[in-house]
Chains A and B, each alone.
Chain A
Amino acid sequence: MKVKFGRSLAVAITIGTGLLVLANFFVRNEYLRRVQQTLLDWAMILAAVALLLGALNVIATHLRKIRGRQPGWVYSLFLLAALGTVVLLGFSDPRGVASPAVSWVFLYVHVPLQATIFALTAFFIASAAYRAFRVRSVDSFIMLVAGVIVLLGQVPLGQAIWDRIAAAKDWILTYPSTAGARGIILGVALGTILTGLRVLLGIDRPHVK
């Protein structure tokens, strides 16, 4: 019985909160605005706590990996060591993440490494372009032509090859590509509305499962 009451209470809170926030979009009321602001502040705090919980989960997962000597446990050891180092550097300075030590780690370790990893995707894209971009049908041929135009239209070399390639690229991005992307966006929006209504009406209760 307690369980049922608790679930009902959670559903009631969810519906009430959602309706209050939603009402602020349609009704200009100072009281509603303050309530919505308070609720959003709570949500931001919870989101920040979620980051902390995520960090704790990462620590627990890699500790378990190290304890069990699972494959790749050495990398987990390095990860925890780096994490502990940055945390210590941050807490050791009153400026926190703005401290020179943390900034140095961020600028000269984190950013270059992440950019390098991302740059490697260029090689995979080049290899995939050879293997996967095959003309097997009319549709694939059209897509191939559009892809080549957009690729060369992005750079000055394309204009040197064909002076109207930039205009062709803009036309592709403005009309065919926008039409497809807009369809996806509208579909996502409709799905979001439907999901919101289901939660507000208590049909879906993912938060009480």
Chain B
Amino acid sequence: MIYCPNCGTANRDGSSFCNQCGQRLGGGSKAICPFCGAENPIENIFCDACGAKLAPLVTRGAEEKEKPGLKGLSLPTKPTEEEEPAPLGEEAGLPQEPTGAAGEEEEIPDWLARLRASLGETAEPEGEASEEMPEEVPDWLRDLGAPPVEEPEEPVAPAPEEFAAEAAGGAEEMPEELPDWLRDLGAPPVEEPEEPVVPAPEEFAAAAAGGAEEMPEEVPDWLRDLGAPPVEEPEEPVAPAPEEAPPEAEAEEAAPREVPAEAEAPATGVPALLGGEPPAPAEEPLAAWLQEEGPVILELSEEETAEEEAGPAPASAPQVPAWLETLASGAAVLPEELGPVLGAPGKPTPEEVGLERAAIPSWLEVLRPGRKREEGEEAPAEEPAETEGVLEGVRGALRLVPAIDPGPDQFVRAVSAAATVTPAHAETLTQVLARPTAASVRPRAVRIPRRERGLPWLAFLLLLAAVLIPVLAPGLVPGGGQVPVAKPAEDFAAQIQNLAPGARVLFSFDYDPSVSTELDWPVREVLDNLKSRGTVLLVMSTTPTGPGLAARMGLGNTATLLGYLPGQEMGLQRLATSFSGAFLVDYQGKQVDETALGVQSLGDVALIITAASSQDAVRWWVEQVGSQTHTPICAIVSGAIEPSVRPYYSSGQLAGLVSGWVGGLAYRRAASPDTPMSAQDMAAMEAQSLGHLAVVVLIVLGNLAYWGKRLFGGRS
């Protein structure tokens, strides 16, 4: 299948034209860099070798053609010498005009009339024109004069497509005056968007080949203007008005819809511009204006006529029409308007003839091919080197032209869109790059807003009041004597109540001195209860400071301080495996006699109690010991870790739980309901109540300030 490069429609193999849009198929080509000559994929915008812009592209001949690029992807190209220009109207879908015969009634465009008039004054007789192409003649004119005749069905690289696309999109962006490189291309943009664009060279070729051929009605004005640039009309017309052209309807009827086969192609240097119609024979009557003017500058030479009779001319021998040779020889005088356009030597420049050089649109500027720089020449000013940042010293690293060609139409649109947004983007990029790097920015010190500078003092004063008020005025806090109900503490007390006298209880001090003020009181409460129950205490610790904390508790004679068990969970696993050997000496340095203690394993212990300040310690006991033995485990923890330890109690892995000072009070109320609360305990509870209340007040104040700022216009 062959996919149409224009619309993407799949066509069967061997198709020459798209069955959907009529686009000529099989016309893939390579792009030749105009500077270094390197071959580039047709999709490239810039040359792989030298970085020059490849638009407009130069296509390679048919023998090196490749398959078309991506679907709907093409770039403007310029036909080469070996390549035949597409027939007029074929690219643009115009009805093709017959050649030659209808010339008598053709309408002669103004520029041809002026050209005829000017040449008629000085042109040499027919057949005397030299075949040498003068150096001053632009290349595209050479192509016009000698269109290759072989393989007429080969598609031409869609050089004018971008202009056609642009014309379709809106002709208001077309420039009034062409840049130099577009002059070389010979395909200036059109000014009438509704009219399809055709390659300029073909039109000139048609004029050169047919001589008497009419300028079709569908030809846009820009082609006419190329012959006669869009300047004010000369004050003195140099040519008579052209004759009437045949009706357009007749011309369309005569125009073939298909491109003729190669055998039907013109056999001479006459270009197959008009759809491959046989060239007008030399003996056919010339156009009226040519007959009148005498010198037939656009008529074939004798050699060309001979070649026409002999057969197709080789592509390597381009034919130059006589009229171009006349131009080259200097015998002909170009119209004043053509002088600046064609760049004839000695002719005034557009500025000299009073033409104002229009600004080139940005979308055309991005298509301008790069210019070779001389040695030592600095980079152009539009690509300044970066002065700082990671791109320091690099030029043009951040091009704004899209690097991937999305296709001819998309390309033009993308470039046009980029042209409108790139100034803003470039400005933004410049600002970003001009910012100092992070390393050079000195971090600012965090400044507390003035209105919040007294906040720490407010917090300190509230907490100080919470501590001092219960001491200075006990009983002032409502509910100070009440003890909250806590079922975990009640379960803890129940476990101790169930211990028989003489039962072994393993008590582990697994907290740090930092929380000793919080945990010492409930720990002491539990220890006193255990001693009152006549239990045998085995005290240990999984933290190095635990034995020291236990030693100051006044354990009594019935307790044995085993000391520190290293290894954390490994030590507890060792303890669960066998109590024997886990402690060789106790905290006092005496040898531990397990037999005397009556404990060979944890199975001999009736209750395990851990006083912990971290969740990990409780987890170690539950995981390493609780899973190996059936000994109930109770925990005394700080209030901070209660939420994380609570799941073990809820699952039954902890038989009881006392949390903080409040939990200790709850435990005491459950274990000894008749014991009254001392004044010290009441002061502690009141202080804790006020402390919690102070935190709540601060939270409320913070939210009031926050929402006040948001609702009443302050800074949030």
**Contacting residues, chain B, for A151 (C-beta < 8 A):** 692, 695-696
**Contacting residues, chain A, for B702 (C-beta < 8 A):** 129-134
Interface residues of A in 71-92 (CB under 8 A from B): none
Prevailing SS type, chain A contact patch: helix
- Please pick, from B513, B581, B588, the residue contacting A111 in the complex, using a CB distance under 8 A: B513
Q: How far is the CB of A40 from chain B (nearest CB, A)?
A: 4
User: Is there contact, CB below 8 Å, between B477 and A118?
Assistant: no
A51 is an interface residue with CB less than 8 A from chain B: yes
**Contacting residues, chain A, for B462 (C-beta < 8 A):** 126
Q: How far is the CB of B699 from chain A (nearest CB, A)?
A: 5
Interface residues of B in 662-716 (CB under 8 A from A): 662, 685-686, 688-696, 698-699, 701-703, 706-707
A107 is an interface residue with CB less than 8 A from chain B: yes
- Please pick, from A115, A125, A174, the residue contacting B517 in the complex, using a CB distance under 8 A: A115
A8 is an interface residue with CB less than 8 A from chain B: no
B591 is an interface residue with CB less than 8 A from chain A: no
**Contacting residues, chain A, for B693 (C-beta < 8 A):** 152, 155, 157
**Contacting residues, chain A, for B485 (C-beta < 8 A):** 166
B642 is an interface residue with CB less than 8 A from chain A: yes
User: Is there contact, CB below 8 Å, between B589 and A94?
Assistant: yes
A114 is an interface residue with CB less than 8 A from chain B: yes
**Contacting residues, chain B, for A114 (C-beta < 8 A):** 512-514, 516
Interface residues of A in 142-192 (CB under 8 A from B): 144, 147-148, 151-161, 166, 170, 173-174, 177-178, 181-182, 184-185
Question: Nearest chain-B residue to A45 (Cβ)?
Answer: B566
Question: Nearest chain-A residue to B700 (Cβ)?
Answer: A148
Known: A98-B551, A106-B545, A152-B696. A159 touches B484 (CB 8 A): yes
Prevailing SS type, chain B contact patch: helix
B573 is an interface residue with CB less than 8 A from chain A: yes
- A110→B548 CA distance, assembly (Å): 10
Q: In this complex, which of A129, A152, A157, A178 has the most chain B Cβ atoms within 10 angstroms of its Cβ?
A: A157
**Contacting residues, chain B, for A103 (C-beta < 8 A):** 548, 551-552
- A160→B455 CA distance, assembly (Å): 28
Q: How far is the CB of B588 from chain A (nearest CB, A)?
A: 5
A37 is an interface residue with CB less than 8 A from chain B: yes
User: Is there contact, CB below 8 Å, between A133 and B644?
Assistant: no
Interface string of A92-120 (1 = CB under 8 A from B): 00111110000100110011001101110
- A174→B645 CA distance, assembly (Å): 11
Q: In this complex, which of A96, A130, A161 has the most chain B Cβ atoms within 10 angstroms of its Cβ?
A: A130
A61 is an interface residue with CB less than 8 A from chain B: no
Interface residues of B in 447-465 (CB under 8 A from A): 452, 455-456, 458-460, 462-463
Interface residues of A in 15-48 (CB under 8 A from B): 24, 33, 36-37, 40-41, 43-45, 47-48
- Please pick, from B481, B513, B639, B699, the residue contacting A129 in the complex, using a CB distance under 8 A: B699
User: Is there contact, CB below 8 Å, between A157 and B478?
Assistant: yes
- Please pick, from A119, A130, A181, the residue contacting B701 in the complex, using a CB distance under 8 A: A130
B329 is an interface residue with CB less than 8 A from chain A: no
User: Is there contact, CB below 8 Å, between B482 and A160?
Assistant: yes
User: Is there contact, CB below 8 Å, between A127 and B459?
Assistant: yes
**Contacting residues, chain B, for A119 (C-beta < 8 A):** 517
- A170→B619 CA distance, assembly (Å): 21
Question: Nearest chain-B residue to A175 (Cβ)?
Answer: B650
Interface string of B112-154 (1 = CB under 8 A from A): 0000000000000000000000000000000000000000000
- A114→B463 CA distance, assembly (Å): 19
**Contacting residues, chain B, for A129 (C-beta < 8 A):** 695, 698-699, 702
A135 is an interface residue with CB less than 8 A from chain B: yes
B11 is an interface residue with CB less than 8 A from chain A: no
Known: A106-B548, A155-B484, A155-B692. A177 touches B643 (CB 8 A): yes
- Please pick, from B452, B479, B619, B707, the residue contacting A156 in the complex, using a CB distance under 8 A: B479
- Please pick, from A33, A95, A118, A127, the residue contacting B577 in the complex, using a CB distance under 8 A: A33
User: Is there contact, CB below 8 Å, between A43 and B567?
Assistant: yes
A123 is an interface residue with CB less than 8 A from chain B: yes
**Contacting residues, chain B, for A106 (C-beta < 8 A):** 545, 548
Known: A37-B581, A106-B548. A44 touches B479 (CB 8 A): no
- A158→B545 CA distance, assembly (Å): 35
**Contacting residues, chain A, for B484 (C-beta < 8 A):** 153-156, 158-159, 166
- Please pick, from B547, B551, B570, B644, the residue contacting A44 in the complex, using a CB distance under 8 A: B570
Known: A115-B513, A133-B699. A97 touches B574 (CB 8 A): no
User: Is there contact, CB below 8 Å, between A110 and B513?
Assistant: yes
Q: List 15 A-B contacts (CB under 8 A).
A: A40-B570, A43-B574, A44-B571, A48-B566, A97-B548, A106-B545, A111-B513, A117-B514, A131-B702, A148-B699, A154-B484, A155-B484, A156-B685, A173-B642, A181-B643
Contacts A44-B574, A106-B545, A155-B685 aside, 20 further interface pairs with beta carbons under 8 A come to: A40-B567, A44-B566, A47-B570, A95-B589, A98-B551, A98-B588, A115-B515, A115-B517, A126-B694, A126-B695, A129-B698, A133-B702, A134-B702, A154-B484, A157-B477, A157-B479, A157-B692, A158-B479, A170-B486, A182-B647
Chain A residues close to B by CB (< 8 Å): 24, 33, 36-37, 40-41, 43-45, 47-48, 51, 94-98, 103, 106-107, 110-111, 114-115, 117-119, 122-123, 125-127, 129-135, 144, 147-148, 151-161, 166, 170, 173-174, 177-178, 181-182, 184-185
